[in-house]
Structure 1
C-alpha cells in the first residue's frame, strides 16, 4: 500500500451504519448545522444567585472585635480602682458565632452589626452597673475570607470587605485573569456546590456577579477545550480553541488551511461522539439511545459549502480530518510505477556492463 495521511472518502463512507459500520455519516446542510449546534451553558445555581450581599458591618465567625466599656462609677465591675474604662482587645468570634464578655456572658455576634452587639452588651450590663457605655469595633481584614487561585495575576487569600463583597470586585482585587479574558473561565466552589461562568459573561449579565461568602474558593482557568486536526491539512496536531465559538472554517484556518496540492475540498470530515438529544434531532431518529458516533461531511466546492463550513460548530474533542485528493494518490501511484521502472532500467544497465 502506498503511503498516505489516512483513510480516503470511500473507506470512511464504508464505516457508515448503512454499510453495517458503527458510525452515522451525515452530509452537512443548513438544517444539520443548526441541529448540531450546542452551546454548553455555564452559570450559577439559585443557591449562588439568591445569596444576599454580606453587609459591610455584619460580623462573622472568626472576626476579631475590640470592646471598650465605660462605667459611671469609680469602682466598677470591670474597671480597676480609679479607672472608669475597660478595653477588651482581640476578642475573637468563635466558630459558633459567639463572644464572651465578663458579667454579660455569651453574646451572639455572628450575623449582627457592631451597633447591635453594643446594644446587647449594654442591656446585659445595665442591670449590674449604672449607665454603662459600650463601643464595639471590628478589626479590618479578619474573619470572612475568599481564596483566589489559578490563572489570576495575584493568587492569595483575600478578606471580604466593603469593596470586595462580590465576585467581580474580588477578581479585580486579585489583579484579574492572567490569560486572555475571552477564554477565561471562573469557577466558584462553596461547600458542596460549584458554579462556573465565562469571565466575560460576568460583565454581560449583572446577575452573575454573585455575592461572596466566607470560605468561598474562586478558581480562574484557561479554556480547556481542544480539537484534533488530521489528514491533508497544514498541520496535524491538537489545537486549543482560543475563542469561545469555533466554526469548521475557522478550525481549518487555525491549522494552515487545506494543502493546495494534496487536499480534497469535497472530503472534509468532523468526527465526534454526539449526545443523544442532538443525534436524535440531526438524524430524525427518536429511537436512538445514548451517545452516537457521528461523522459530519463538508464539501467546500458546493455553492453553499463555505457558508456551511462557517456555520458548522466545532466542539470539544472533535476530530477534523481532511482526505487527500484523488490526484494525489494517482501521482503517488505514477511515481511508484515510474520509480520502479527507472530502478529496473538502472539494474539492467549495471548487469550489461
Structure 2
C-alpha cells in the first residue's frame, strides 16, 4: 500500500509539472528559424525573407547622402572687409577749414562719428551727406561715397571708415564644440573649418561627429572627417549661418543569442553585420545558431524591388535578411552587408538549446515528483 501511494504521488506530480510546462512553454530569447520562415510572404506572411548573397549586399549597401548643395559651395569666399547690415562703423572726417567747419567744433578740423550702425536695409546716416548705402560695400568704397557727398559742402574732406564686426557679419556655432556662441566672420574665420576651430574645436568623438550648416531655408551636413579630408567641403560662410556639431544618432538593436541584448549606437560612419555582432560581444557560444543570423528592416520600395528582382512593390517593405556564418562565403557576406539605422540584428538559438531546456524541465519535473512522493510516503 505504501509503494502504491508513492507511485501515485509521483505520477500526479509529473502530470502537474508537465501540464505547467505545456501551458507556459520553455523560456527562450525569441523566435526560432522555423517560426521566422513561417512568417515569410511565401507562406502567407507579411515579410520577405531573403538569404544574403553578393547581389543582395550590393543592392542594400546604401549610406546616408551627405554634402552641401551649390547654394553653399558656389557662394565664394566673402571679403573679410565687406560691410553687412547690422555692422557697426567708425567714421572720421578731417575738414580743410578751421573757421566754421561743417561737422566738427569751431577750431577743430576733425569730426569722429563712433558706433554708426548699419540698419536692416543696409544704410547709414551721415550728417550733411544723408542716407548712404553701406551694406555690400568695402570700407574703401563707402569712404569714397561719403567723400563725394560731403565734397560739395566742405572742401576736399578726408574720410576714413573702419568696420567692426557686428550682428550682420556673424554666425552661430552650437552643439559639440568647445565654446558655443555667436562669432564674427573675420579674415581668419571665413570658412567652415576655421570657424569651428575658432569655437574651440570639436568636443565629441570625431569619428561620429556630424557638421550641419543652415543658411536661410537650406540645410546641408557632412561628416567631420570628410570635411577635413575633402577641402571642397570647407564651404565659405555667410552672415546668419547656423553651424551645429552633433553626434551621430544612428543605432541598431541586438537581440537573441548574442553577448548583449541592447540598443547600440553607431561608432563609425559605416557598420557591417559582422562588426555589429562583434560590437555586442559576438555570438553566444553556448546558445547561438550561426546558421540563423537575421537582420530585420523596413526597406524602401526602390531597394526592395532591386533585391527581389521586381518592380511592382510600393511603399516600405518588411524585409528579413538571413546570414549563414557556417557557409564558405557566409563570413564575407556578413562583412559586406551594411547595417543601417533602425535595424534589428537577431541571432536565433541553436536547436539543441531547446532540447537542453526540455530535458532540464523533465529532470526537474522528475525531481519534484520524487520529492512529492517522499513527502507522501512519510505522512
Same structural fold, with TM-score higher than 0.5 when normalized by the shorter chain:
yes
Distance 1:139 1:27 in 2: 64
Q: Deviations over 1:28-61 (max 9, x none)?
A: 0111111111011111121111112210111111
Identify the range of structure 1 (270-279 vs 66-75) with the bigger mean alpha-carbon deviation. 66-75
TM-score of the aligned structures, taking structure 1 as reference length:
0.98
2:44 matched residue in structure 1: 20
Task: Verify the 8 A CA contact 2:291 2:325 in the aligned structure 1.
Answer: yes
Determine if the alignment matches structure 1 residue 174 to structure 2 residue 199: yes
Q: Does the 8 A contact of 2:88 with 2:166 survive in 1?
A: no
Greater mean alpha carbon deviation, residues 123-132 or residues 308-317: 123-132
Residue 67 (structure 2) aligned to one of 36, 43, 46: 43
Q: 2:311 — aligned with what?
A: 286
Alignment correspondent of 2:287: 262
- Bigger drift between 139-148 and 110-119 goes to 139-148
Which has the higher relative contact order, 1 or 2, with Cα contacts under 8 A spaced 6 or more apart? 2
Unaligned runs of 5+ in 2: 1-24
Three-state SS of the structure 1 residue aligned to 2:277 is helix
Separation (CA, whole Å) in 1 of partners of 2:56 and 2:181:
47
Q: CA deviation at 1:79?
A: 2.0
C-alpha displacement at 1:142, in angstroms? Answer: 5.7
TM-superposed CA distance for 1:206, in Å, is 1.6
Q: Name the structure 1 match of 2:81.
A: 57
- For residues 87 and 348 of structure 1, the distance between their equivalents in structure 2, rounded to whole angstroms, comes to 109
d(CA) in 1 for partners of 2:270, 2:168: 41
Per-residue deviation at 1:143? 3.8
Shift of residue 125, structure 1, vs aligned partner: 1.1
Corresponding position: 1:139 with 2:156: no
Q: Which residue of 1 aligns with 2:27?
A: 3
Count the aligned residue pairs. 353
Which of 111, 117, 120 is residue 95 of structure 1 equivalent to? 120
| Structure 2 equivalent of residue 113 of structure 1 | 138
Where does residue 258 of structure 2 map in the other structure? 233
Matched, 1:296 2:324: no
Larger radius of gyration: 2
- Show the 5 A alignment for 1:182-261: 182-261=207-286
Distance 2:376 2:345 in 1: 50
1:308 counterpart SS class = helix
**How does the TM-score come out when normalised to structure 2?**
0.91
Runs ≥4 in structure 1, deviation > 2 angstroms? 139-143
Give the stretch that moved more between structures: 125-134 or 107-116: 125-134
Contact 1:141-1:161 within 8 A present in 2 as well:
no
Q: Deviations over 1:151-198 (max 9, x none)?
A: 111111111111111111000111222111110001111121111111
User: Is the Cα contact below 8 Å between 2:165 and 2:185 reproduced in 1?
Assistant: no
The alpha carbon displacement at 1:253 in A equals 0.6
Specify the SS of the correspondent of 1:251: helix
**Is the Cα–Cα contact under 8 Å of residues 89 and 116 in structure 2 kept in the other structure?**
yes
